[in-house]
Amino acid sequence: MHGNVCEWVLDQYAPDFYKQFAGKTTKEPFAPTTTEYGRVVRGGSWADDPPALRSAFRRASDKDWKKQDPQIPQSIWYLTDADFLGFRVIRPLRVPTAEEAKRYELDQEQITEIKDYQEAQHGKQ
């Protein structure tokens, strides 16, 4: 899978985020998102040089990835200039507990963004 497309993941990008876990054991290091841009893109793609073709390679998303969007906001996920980016659909091996599942629910800001997008798209389809 390395070298196909970068993986769009859920975390907020923080360059030295993993330093806080040095010498410690943690199951799920997670940096909750706080802004639209600067989210984590993991791994390399066909457009990267060989050193980036590893799953540990991370970079931050950038607003320039949608600068050619003719209908901003076409979608909050429509990235016209990021043809090197994709995502993987996964499911847990076991059903998560209610507490675990709550960590991945949309917050009020995300719900508002989706509703705003849907309202802006009304009648365009």
Residues of the chain with pLDDT under 50: 125
pTM: 0.61
Non-local CB neighbours of 39 within 8 Å, separated by 6+ positions: 8, 9, 10, 11, 12, 13, 33, 60, 61
Ranges of each domain in the chain: 6-94
**pLDDT tens digits along 65-91:** 887 766 666 666 677 788 888 877 778
Task: Identify which of 87, 90, 44, 37 has the alpha carbon closest to the alpha carbon of residue 60.
Answer: 37
Q: What is the pLDDT of residue 108?
A: 87
Beta strand residue intervals within the chain, DSSP E:
6-12, 39-42, 58-60, 85-86
Q: What is the pLDDT of residue 113?
A: 81
